[in-house]
A and B are shown apart, each in its own frame.
Chain A
Amino acid sequence: MSVFRLFRRPSSAPVARERLQILLAYERGVRGQSDLLTILREEILAVIEKHVPIERDNVQIKMDRGDAVSLLEIDVEIPNSAGLLVSA
């Protein structure tokens, strides 16, 4: 085993990179749950709910912090039975 490892040890940097990307995406999400985000979430959902019924559990909201701009991403699952085309 150790002889084999001497010849070919997989590089560890890509593992480090992937672990960090996953971890930080989560930690930024938690950190981003500021008051502003909570307010935005409630008001945006209220507007959507006026037109289509949605499940609060099927809503994902996150903030991606970039260098110059940040990205507010809201994923709302709308059931096909909601009649979206009619309401819009």
Chain B
Amino acid sequence: MAKVLVVTSGKGGVGKTTSTAALGAALAQSGQSVVVVDFDVGLRNLDLVMGAERRVVFDLINVVQGVAKLSQALIRDKRVETLWLLPASQTRDKDALTEEGVARVIAELRKKFDWVICDSPAGIERGATLAMRFADAAVIVTNPEVSSVRDSDRMIGLLDSKTERAEKGQRVEKHILITRYDAARAARGEMLSIEDVLEILSTPLLGIIPESEEVLRASNLGSPITLANSTSAAARAYMAAARRLKGEDVPMTIPHDKKGLLDKLFGRRAA
């Protein structure tokens, strides 16, 4: 039974695309068939983060408009054979997406894959609303920071009212993914804690991704972090989150990278 998952946040720059790539790759590495779909029409980036930017021929808009077949637009990952990408168009704008067209493409993807992961653009306009429209579940990517938490709250409201499931009176399963978390700063009271964010948003936690230099390195290389450096703290956190998405009961921890002496002296660890 295929599951359609939207990765959303409202606010830009919090890590939607990084998280889409990492969760998609982690699920595919565990043997599931996965397609990651870029809904950021006009500002596509998932292809770049996945390292497939030079292999894009047809895109989501071409398929939505019937110009290309789905099989022509799908790009298979070179590292994990059960991982696929459906890129966004770079030249068109978001108005080229129609609800009927997106519905048709999502229905077709549901037949082919275990997971359809939709990478939402920032904002609450057409691209973002269509990315969540047919979702069964949502990952709301949140930084422990006021504007990100506020925007996440807004997205939770939209998921509960504007999705197809909500309109049918069904629930969209929602998860908070906290990214760029700095346990030491949270312990010093300089950053909202996990408990603060969860209490404010009253939504269950999928995972905590620690702030990590490895994330930038992975995107520089064009590889999801779980493939670029599978032992890094961020990769381990994404892999645990992916297992929770599959329904496994994985204890919630905040993985940390190996630290130097100075970090050990001054840094602090949280549970």
Establish whether residues B157 and A28, one from each chain, have CB atoms under 8 Å apart when the complex forms.
yes
The yes or no answer to B230 lying at the interface (CB within 8 A) is: no
Q: Which residues of A contact B153 (CB under 8 A)?
A: 24, 27-28
Establish whether residues B200 and A20, one from each chain, have CB atoms under 8 Å apart when the complex forms.
yes
| CB of A63 to closest CB in B, whole Å | 11
| CB of B182 to closest CB in A, whole Å | 11
Point out the residue from B145, B188, B189, B202 that lies within 8 Å of A67, measured CB to CB.
B202
Establish whether residues A17 and B189, one from each chain, have CB atoms under 8 Å apart when the complex forms.
no
The yes or no answer to A80 lying at the interface (CB within 8 A) is: no
The yes or no answer to B76 lying at the interface (CB within 8 A) is: no
Establish whether residues B200 and A31, one from each chain, have CB atoms under 8 Å apart when the complex forms.
no
User: B137-172: contact bitstring with A at CB < 8 Å (1 yes, 0 no)?
Assistant: 000000001100110011011001100000000000
Cross-chain pair count, CB within 8 angstroms: 46
| CB of A37 to closest CB in B, whole Å | 12
- In the complex, the chain A residue whose C-beta lies closest to that of B204 is A67
Knowing A20-B146, A20-B149, A21-B200 touch, does A13 contact B190 (C-beta < 8 A)?
yes
| CB of A40 to closest CB in B, whole Å | 16
- In the complex, the chain A residue whose C-beta lies closest to that of B193 is A13
The yes or no answer to B186 lying at the interface (CB within 8 A) is: yes
Within 8 A of B (CB), among A28-86: 28, 31, 34, 65-67
The yes or no answer to B43 lying at the interface (CB within 8 A) is: no
Q: Which residues of A contact B188 (CB under 8 A)?
A: 11
Knowing A13-B191, A13-B192, A28-B157 touch, does A65 contact B186 (C-beta < 8 A)?
no
Establish whether residues B192 and A24, one from each chain, have CB atoms under 8 Å apart when the complex forms.
no
- In the complex, the chain A residue whose C-beta lies closest to that of B203 is A67
The yes or no answer to B196 lying at the interface (CB within 8 A) is: yes
| CB of A9 to closest CB in B, whole Å | 9
Establish whether residues A13 and B202, one from each chain, have CB atoms under 8 Å apart when the complex forms.
no
| CB of A5 to closest CB in B, whole Å | 13
| CB of A58 to closest CB in B, whole Å | 28
The yes or no answer to A12 lying at the interface (CB within 8 A) is: yes
Within 8 A of A (CB), among B171-195: 186, 188-193
The yes or no answer to A16 lying at the interface (CB within 8 A) is: yes
Establish whether residues B150 and A13, one from each chain, have CB atoms under 8 Å apart when the complex forms.
no
Establish whether residues A19 and B202, one from each chain, have CB atoms under 8 Å apart when the complex forms.
no
Establish whether residues B189 and A14, one from each chain, have CB atoms under 8 Å apart when the complex forms.
yes
| CB of B156 to closest CB in A, whole Å | 8
Point out the residue from A14, A24, A67 that lies within 8 Å of B200, measured CB to CB.
A24
CB-defined A-B contacts under 8 Å, sample of 23:
A11-B188, A11-B190, A12-B190, A13-B186, A13-B190, A13-B192, A16-B146, A16-B192, A16-B196, A17-B200, A19-B146, A20-B149, A21-B200, A23-B150, A31-B154, A31-B157, A34-B161, A65-B156, A65-B157, A65-B202, A66-B202, A67-B203, A67-B204
4 nearest A-B pairs in the assembled complex, by CB-CB distance: A11-B189, A17-B196, A13-B189, A67-B202
Binding site for B on A (CB under 8 A): 11-14, 16-17, 19-21, 23-24, 27-28, 31, 34, 65-67
